[in-house]
Amino acid sequence: MLNCGSTVIDSARLDTVLDPMVVRCGELFLKGAGGAEDREKVWDLLNTNTHAVAMFFDSLVVDEKVPIFNYGHTFDMKLDFDQRVFSRRS
């Protein structure tokens, strides 16, 4: 069990908390080339962090629950959480 002092995480029995970079790489991968403002920068990031994309999908397959935090404070400052890929439906 993750020992982070959070009763919410403990009570939900969440064993995995993903690094923001792993979430960001998974998010960019899911958006695809059409969702990228700068395709070259996104490709460079994903190419350099292939392990992060693998970790992202691994956690979705292996873990029953994966907490997702509002990483918008760190990335995509101009976007609110509701405008991000996880809350949008195509």
pLDDT digits (tens, 9 = 90+) for 44-90: 999 999 999 999 999 989 988 887 776 655 555 666 656 655 555 54
Domain containing 62 equals 19-76
Asked if 15 contacts 3 with a C-beta cutoff of 8 angstroms, the reply is no
pLDDT-based confidence at 36, cuts 50/70/90? Answer: confident
Could you give the number of structural domains in the chain?
A: 1
Specify if 7 maps to a domain.
no
Specify if 81 maps to a domain.
no
Specify if 90 maps to a domain.
no
Specify if 32 maps to a domain.
yes
Specify if 89 maps to a domain.
no
Res 2: pLDDT: 45
- Tell me the whole-structure pTM to 2 decimals: 0.62
Q: Give ∠ CA 83-27-69 in degrees, rounded to 5.
A: 65
Specify if 2 maps to a domain.
no
Specify if 88 maps to a domain.
no
